[in-house]
Amino acid sequence: MRISVLCGGDSPERNVSLDSGKEVAEGLKAKGHSVELMDLSSPEALFSFLAGDRPELCFVALHGGWGEDGRLQAVLDMAGVPYTGSGPSGCAVAMDKTLSKGAFAAAGLDVPWGVAVHPGEGSSPMKALSKWGTLVVKPCCGGSTVATYIVSEEDELRKALSSAWELENRALVEAYVAGRELTVTVVEDRGIPRAFPIVEILPDGEFYDYRAKYGGGSRYVSPADLEPSVVEVVSRSAEIAHRVSGCSIYSRVDIRLDGKNRPFVLEINTVPGMTSNSLVPKAAMAGGFSFPDLLDHIVEESMASFSS
């Protein structure tokens, strides 16, 4: 099949996207596909690409910004070009952490307390700090844990908010959930979401920030060492999160497991990282899928979805 791997973009996650694109392209070639790697540095570049010889399928590896918030997917829909992953609405909900948080809560999933804060609204986070003791601050629509902070002092909170507001005009402030860091890859099989083995993250540092993700020092346990009953609850939570967010084909759900083995759903990623350090390939391997096999399954599932 002729496949164009779309990567790059102009978000803060550009470099990660380029790495994902390269590894996806190599994996698809290993399965016999004819692959073109496309670095789309702007939305204008997307329209130029579509004006040329169109592929049979676009594999979306654009992280963040217009590549992951539904705009790219909407344009591809209008052009009639099949692509991998979720459609515009699922991407839009997943990208905005306040929207996805509301969807999770409405479905009965546990989520941390949280509030979206605009510049100048500093009193609400300060009150939350007094109540919860430790907070997580991040951009509402960010990814790759860029500008994500755990804070327990007022000074730290002010700096974290300023950093998040430099990227967008809303920051999500959440109560910190102490516990284990888990992530669950959800891949559809004939349209039915199925959770892959759970990956536990043991970060190189206080938490799993950008440096810990891509610096190579963190450790991963897959499948995570959990009681079967806990595995069932966590996996089910991830599958529900995938469904109620309107996602399709595949996603990655991030979860905190507290000291009572209660899973708190944090967020969902519709275009998760696909580098050698990324979590989705690790989960696939634990589930008996090679990386090329996983990519081939995503391609087949995506084409079947567009044909139906």
Report whether 189 belongs to an annotated binding site: no
Q: Could you give phi then psi for residue 215, rounded to 5 degrees?
A: -85, -15
Determine which one of 11, 235, 248, 278 is catalytic.
Answer: 278
- HEC profile of 219-235: EEECCCCCCHHHHHHHH
C-alpha 190/C-alpha 288 separation (Å) is 18
Give catalytic status of residue 235 as yes or no: no
Q: Which residue has the tokens 């392209």?
A: 25
Q: Are 1 and 36 in contact (CB under 8 A)?
A: no
State both tokens at 67. 């590549």
C-alpha 24/C-alpha 60 separation (Å) is 10
| Ramachandran area for residue 183 (φ above 0: left; ψ -120 to 50: alpha; else beta) | beta
C-alpha 61/C-alpha 39 separation (Å) is 10
Angle between helices 97-106 and 228-244 (to 10 degrees): 120
Closest by CA position to 179, among listed 130, 110, 244, 91: 110
Report whether 254 belongs to an annotated binding site: yes
* β-strand partners of 252: 185, 269
Give catalytic status of residue 13 as yes or no: yes
Report whether 166 belongs to an annotated binding site: no
Determine which one of 11, 20, 100, 144 is catalytic.
Answer: 144
Q: Are 21 and 68 in contact (CB under 8 A)?
A: no
Determine which one of 4, 11, 13, 20 is catalytic.
Answer: 13
Residue 112: DSSP 8-state: -
Give catalytic status of residue 154 as yes or no: no
Within 13 Å, how many C-alpha atoms sit on residue 269's CB side? 23
Q: Residues annotated as binding site? A: 254, 267, 269
Please give the positions annotated as active site. Answer: 13, 144, 278
Q: Residues annotated as binding site for Mg(2+)? A: 254, 267, 269
